[in-house]
Amino acid sequence: MKKYLLPLIWTLILLALGGCSPLRIDPTGAGPTDDAADVTKSAPAERGGMGADNGAQAADVGAAGVGDPLFPQSGNGGYDVQHYDLTLSWDDASGAIEGVTVIAAVATQPLAQFNLDLSGLEIDDITVNDAPAEFSRNGSELTIRLADTDALATDEPFSIAVAYHGKPQPIEFALLDEIGWLDYRGGVVVVSEPDGAASWYPVNDHPSDKASYHFTVTVPKPYVVAANGDATAPVAQGDMLTYEFDAPAPMASYLVTISIGDFWIQEEPGPDGVLISNYFAEGLSSSLLGAFDKQAEMLAVFTQAFGPYPFDVAGAIVIDSPISFALETQTRVIYGPFMTGEVVVAHELAHQWFGDSVTPASWEDIWLNEGFATYGELLWTVHEDGEESGQQMVHQWYQARANEDRLGLAEPPGVVSPASMFNRVVYERGALTLHALRMTVGDDLFFQILQTYAHRFAYGNASTADFIAVSEEISGQQLDDLFNAWLYEDPLPDIPEAGLFRADFQ
C-alpha cells in the first residue's frame, strides 16, 4: 500500500513534474458506469482473541479481538460480515455526522453477545434482526447483548443496525500521528490503515473480515463526495446533495474511504472497460497531476504482469491537505498533494492487486502489500525507462538496506512490530525478496507465480505461507531457504544478479 512516506528530495522532484490539464466533468452529471462485478465473498477466517467477560457462557461470547500478532484487540470474533450499508450526513459548520450503519453478517458460532469496534460517537439505537438490543461500551469496544430468545446459531445470517451521531475524532497512530476520519481546511478525508475505520462507523475492524459496501452520503452544496466503487449522479434536495457509491467487491475496513471537498472530476476509459475517475481538489497545480495521465497505461502494464485488473473502476482522490503519504484505498486511491509522482501512482495501482484484492490475513504479513507494490514500481520503471534504470533501482534498494543492516537499524521484513511495519525495509527488502525469487525461478515462472497467487486469493486473504506454497507449486522447487533468508534472517543476503528484465510478462 499505502503509507508511502515522502522524503524531502522527492518533494522537490515531484514539484518539478509537468502535466496536461485534463477534461473536467460536472460532478452533478452522470458519468459512465459499468455493471457491478459478480464477486463472491471468501470463506470466514478463523478468529481468536479474548472474549468479553459478562457472565455469559464462553461458547456464546464473540471474541473482543481476532488475536492479530501486531494488533491483538483489532476486530472481533464470532461472526463474519458480508455487507455494510453506510448512510451519513455531514455538517460542514460543526464537523459532526449523523449516521446509520446496517451490517449483514453470519454467525460463526452460537452467539449471545458479540462486539463491534467504534471509537467515540454517541449511539442512539441498536437493533439486531430488527429487535432492540442491549449494549455497553469500553473504549472502542462496543458489546451487544442479545435476549435469550434472540441468541444466534452457528451459520445463522443476521442484521445489525446502529444509529449514531457526533463529531468523529481521529485515532492516534504513532507513525502517522492520526488516522481515520480527518478534518482539514475545506473538507474531510478518511485514511484508516491499520485500524482507523472505527473512528467513523461501527465495524469489524480487521483485514481478515472483508465485506462489500454501499455508501449514501449527504453534504451541503457545493461539496463533492468521493468514495470507493461505482458512483451515481448526486441528488439535490434544497441546499443538500446526496451521493451514492457501490463497492461490490469484498474490501478490508482499512481500505474504506470517503472524502468530502471542493473536487472536480476527470473521467477516462481504462483498459478492458475499466472506468478511471479522478477527484482532484480545486486549485492544485497541473504540475502535481501529470502522473495521473498515465494510469491507463500503468493498468495495462500491471494487467500483463499480474493478471486482470480485479475491479471495474480505478482512479485517484487528491486532496488539498499536506498529508505526507498516499493510501491505496480500494478502487480510488487517496493522495496528498505532494505524493503524486509517477512512481507513487504506480505503487498505489499495484496495490489494487496486492493489498486490496489479495489482502494479508494478518498485519505481520504486511510485506505482501508493500513489497509487491514496490516491485510494481520496478516494473513500471523498466517499462518507461528501460532495463538499465531497473538495474539501478534494484541496486539502490540493496545499498540502502545494506547500510541499515550494517548499523543494525532494521528488522527483516517478515519480522515487524507496529512501530516498524512501514519501515522502508518492509518495502524495499520485501521487493528484493521478490527479485531474488525471480532470479531463482526465471521470468516465465515468476510471472506465472504472481498471476496464480493474484487469481487464487482474489477478493480474499492470504499469508506468507500461502505465497510460498504457490511459488513452490509453480516452480517445482523447494524455496524455504530463499524466503527465510530474505524475510526472516540477518544479515541481508547477497544481492541477486540484476537482469532478466522484460517488457513482455506473459
Q: What is the pLDDT of residues 135-166, one digit of tens each?
A: 999 999 999 999 998 999 999 999 999 999 99
DSSP per-residue codes, 36-47: PP--PPPPPPP-
pLDDT at 209 over 50: yes
Give whole-number Cα distances, 57 to 78, 128, 129, 201, 401, in Å. Answer: 13, 20, 22, 28, 51
The rounded mean pLDDT for the chain is 88
The model's pLDDT over 211-234, given as tens digits with 9 standing for 90+, comes to 999 999 999 999 999 999 999 999
pLDDT band at 30 (very low <50, low <70, confident <90, very high): very low
Tell me which residue has cell 452460537.
110
Amino acid at 65: G
Amino acid letter for position 488: Y
Q: Measured in Å, how far apart are the chain's first and last C-alpha atoms?
A: 24
Q: pLDDT tens digit string along 247-270?
A: 999 999 999 999 999 999 999 999
Q: Is the peptide bond before 491 cis (omega within 30 degrees of 0)?
A: yes
- Angstrom distances, CA of residue 83 to CA of 209, 310, 337, 448: 10, 19, 32, 32
Rg (CA), the chain: 22
For residue 222, say if its preceding peptide bond is cis, omega within 30 degrees of 0: yes
Q: What are phi and psi of 115, to 5 degrees?
A: -115, 155
Which pLDDT value is given to residue 406? 82
* Residue ranges of domains in the chain, CATH in brackets: 8-19+72-350 (2.60.40.1730), 359-487 (1.10.390.10)
378-409 pLDDT, tens digit per residue, is 999 999 999 999 999 999 999 999 998 887 77
C-alpha span between 376 and 435 (Å, rounded) = 11
Residue 503 pLDDT > 70, yes or no? no
Alpha-carbon gap, residue 86 to 458, rounded angstroms: 24
Contact 63, 51 (CB under 8 A): yes
- Write the pLDDT tens digit of every residue in 82-135: 999 999 999 999 999 999 999 999 999 999 999 999 999 999 999 999 999 999
**Dihedral pair phi/psi, residue 372, rounded to 5°:** -70, -45
In this predicted structure, the answer to whether residue 23 has a pLDDT above a threshold of 60 is: no
List % helix, strand, coil for the chain (3-state, nearest 5).
Answer: 30, 30, 40
Q: How confident is the model at residue 25 (pLDDT cuts 50, 70, 90)?
A: very low
pLDDT score for 18: 32
DSSP 68: -
pLDDT at 498: 53
What local confidence, expressed as pLDDT, does residue 55 receive?
38
Range of lowest pLDDT (1-10, 70-79, 127-136, 299-308): 1-10
Q: What is the mean pLDDT of residues 357-377?
A: 98
Of residues 484 and 11, more confidence is placed in 484
